[in-house]
Chains A and B, each alone.
Chain A
Amino acid sequence: MRITATAEFMLEPAFDPNKDAGSSRDAIGLGQAAGTGLNTRHGTILTLEDISVSFDGFKALNNLNLYIGVGELRCIIGPNGAGKTTMMDVITGKTRPSEGQAWFGETLDLQQMSEVQIAQSGIGRKFQKPTVFEALSVFENLELAQKTDKSVWASLRARLTGEQRDRIAEVLETIRLSTSARRPAGLLSHGQKQFLEIGMLLVQDPQLLLLDEPVAGMTDAETEFTAELFKSLAGKHSLMVVEHDMGFVGSIADHVTVLHQGSVLAQGSLAQVQADERVIEVYLGR
């Protein structure tokens, strides 16, 4: 059975619901911030315990333990090849771990679910390489991603309601692509594709967002804007952001996890982990 999270792994605000009540975004209704159907009684939306993944004997993840609290915005950093993308693959069901447990909320065992079920249960993901539906227009990309019945029959008869149109228009505004709504997504710039993919996550309205290097290829202004956007999302959603851009990480995260050779090397505030001897060694010794 599943082991209860210990304080060592848990980050304070998420771990102790009453500590910062009313004062920080982490206090926003633990367990209530999560949508219906997801049991997050203990304030943890994602639990990874002793996860190991090996590719032909090479351990990409090695006894990884990680807990994400409800409404938290967590940054994951680490050198190239540390296993960050592989961890997201495990969470979304793309890669199956050889050992360990992965839980979404208290009750959903991610290892028993298919990729589609995981996505439907409320985990959204942005890929490291921006992936959008290139032949479809920006608007249609958002239309497909939008939270709705996604079965074959529903798709055959689907008509957008006014409410859904408004929501898409709103997100288009947010990601600043309103004027490109009718353009094929394949014609967008790299940065615009990043924004479109983020927009697709927004309309999907997942409880947990996994973002793999979201600001790669963005200008400084765009990066700053993205930081604001993510901060506004935290609280209502839980976010896990993988990023190499330390400036960006510093501007959004209270808590940072450093991954190295497939396991957690250090956790804490950005200043704390940057002062950590082992972290310095890993980054300089690269």
Chain B
Amino acid sequence: MNQPLLLTATQKAGPAVTATVGGLVLLVLLALPLLSLLPADSPFQVSAYTLTLTGKILCYAIVALALDLVWGYAGLLSLGHGLFFALGGYAMGMYLMRQASGDELPAFMTFLSWTELPWYWTGTEHFWWAMCLVVLAPGLLALVFGFFAFRSRIKGVYFSIMTQALTFAGMLLFFRNETGFGGNNGFTNFRSILGFGITEPGTRAALFFATVMLLVASLFLGWRLARSKFGRVLTALRDAENRLMFCGYDPRGFKLFVWVLSAVLCGLAGALYVPQVGIINPGEMSPTNSIEAAVWVALGGRGTLIGPLLGAGVVNGMKSWFTVAFPEYWLFFLGALFIVVTLYLPKGVIGLLKKRGEQ
């Protein structure tokens, strides 16, 4: 008799707690860029290092959310989301390189003694076109890949392996100098964005603010999707695709939509990551990066929207501490973490918190 009462009580308390905590976190995130603008001798001043690190983690959180949409809801485990992130980053990087080199060719091209820009660099001196590329490059790639993969009904492990192969192929391609994206050095030494110095406190604060806004927007979008009938169709697709087809739904369209949306979100996150971190290279496409993203989602709790954000925050927080304290053990720790989560926390940290709340 007690059970239902208690259940409804926690169900009511759940959202209230989440809203309070979420609201506080948002307040802090909005305050950070303002505090970073304080004079250096102020006790409340937030250092450029902290701001950049937090901004970087927020970009990763957006990737985690995007991955959760396809993995947690639609059951498509992508091990190649780093590729979409990097493509968005490279698109933004092209613009930043053009800003830095002015009328000349970007430095790495002169170094290769190229005399003109490759055709695909056309228009990248315009911010608006770079922004279009940020969306189009990952979006179109995801569309084409998804179209063929879903049409051939590739799922499960095969799908994961294919996405992993895709990002690996991307990395090898971008490593080549001839590809025209700076080879293994990638892009760096940025100077300005939209005419503002890239290292100026004001620019940093604005970029950070934009990242927070993108995160909030993605979260809202994910929340709307998860609550819509579309979200329920995705869940159904994950659990019983055949049943869904015999109910008259074509799974391909649903998969493709959420897949492309997820890729575009990653691209946007990558585009905000690059000017804050100041570098983009093919390492971002390495398979381990994409696998790490899956760990964030698994640790936080897939199929929940807050979980992956939490996961990205916790893992990356630990990573920045680890890489200072014991750099050589980080990968072992990451592997151990993944095993522990898979064995003992199938629903992630969020699942654990929910259980606590119910007891």
Contacts and interface: CB of A to CB of B under 8 A. Distances in A.
Partners in one complex: yes
A144 B246 CA distance: 11
Contacts of A94: 242
B229 A155 contact: yes
Contacts of B229: 143-144, 155-156, 158
Interface string A107-140: 0000000111001100011010001111110001
B346 to A, nearest CB: 13
B78 to A, nearest CB: 19
A204 interface: yes
B233 A204 contact: no
Given A119-B245, A143-B229, A136 B235 contact: yes
Contacts of B233: 144, 155
Contacts of A119: 245-248
Interface in B294-327: none
Contacts of B238: 135
Contacts of B245: 115-116, 119
A124 B246 contact: yes
Interface stretch (A23-31, A145-153, A238-246, A263-271): A145-153
Contacts of B230: 152, 155-156, 158
A151 B253 CA distance: 8
A140 B247 contact: no
Contacts, number: 76
A204 B238 CA distance: 21
Given A132-B243, A133-B240, A116 B232 contact: no
B247 A145 contact: yes
A185 to B, nearest CB: 9
B254 interface: yes
A157 B230 CA distance: 8
Contact of B247 (A134, A156, A200): A200
Interface centre among A92, A116, A132, A136 (most CB of B within 10 A): A116
B236 interface: yes
Interface in B121-178: none
Nearest to A206: B248
Given A140-B232, A156-B230, A158-B229, A133 B243 contact: yes
A127 B253 CA distance: 24
Q: Majority SS of interface residues in chain B?
A: helix
Contacts of A127: 242-243
B104 interface: no
Given A143-B232, A156-B230, A204 B239 contact: no
B249 A150 contact: yes
Contacts of B225: 156
Contacts of A131: 240, 242-243
A116 B248 contact: yes
Interface centre among A115, A119, A152, A204 (most CB of B within 10 A): A152
B115 interface: no
A134 B228 contact: no
Interface in A147-200: 150-152, 155-158, 200
B243 A116 contact: no
Interface centre among B228, B232, B247, B254 (most CB of A within 10 A): B247
Nearest to B254: A152
A154 B269 CA distance: 29
Contact of B248 (A120, A143, A152): A120
B257 interface: yes
Contacts of A120: 248
A111 B44 CA distance: 72
Contacts of A134: 239-240
A213 to B, nearest CB: 16
Contacts of B232: 136, 140, 143-144
Nearest to A116: B250
Interface in B194-241: 225, 228-230, 232-233, 235-236, 238-240
Contacts of A132: 240, 243
B236 A116 contact: no
B253 to A, nearest CB: 4
A132 B235 CA distance: 12
B249 to A, nearest CB: 5
Contacts of A124: 246
A35 B253 CA distance: 27
A204 B244 CA distance: 12
A119 B248 CA distance: 5
A127 to B, nearest CB: 7
Interface string B179-203: 0000000000000000000000000
Given A131-B240, A132-B243, 4 more contacts: A131-B243, A132-B240, A136-B239, A150-B249
Give 6 closest A-B pairs by Cβ, nearest first: A158-B229, A119-B248, A133-B236, A155-B230, A152-B253, A120-B248
Interface of A: 92, 94, 114-116, 119-120, 124-125, 127, 131-136, 140, 143-145, 150-152, 155-158, 200, 204
23 contacts: A115-B245, A116-B248, A116-B249, A119-B245, A127-B242, A131-B240, A131-B242, A131-B243, A133-B244, A135-B235, A135-B238, A136-B232, A144-B232, A151-B250, A152-B230, A152-B254, A155-B228, A155-B229, A155-B233, A157-B228, A158-B229, A158-B230, A204-B247
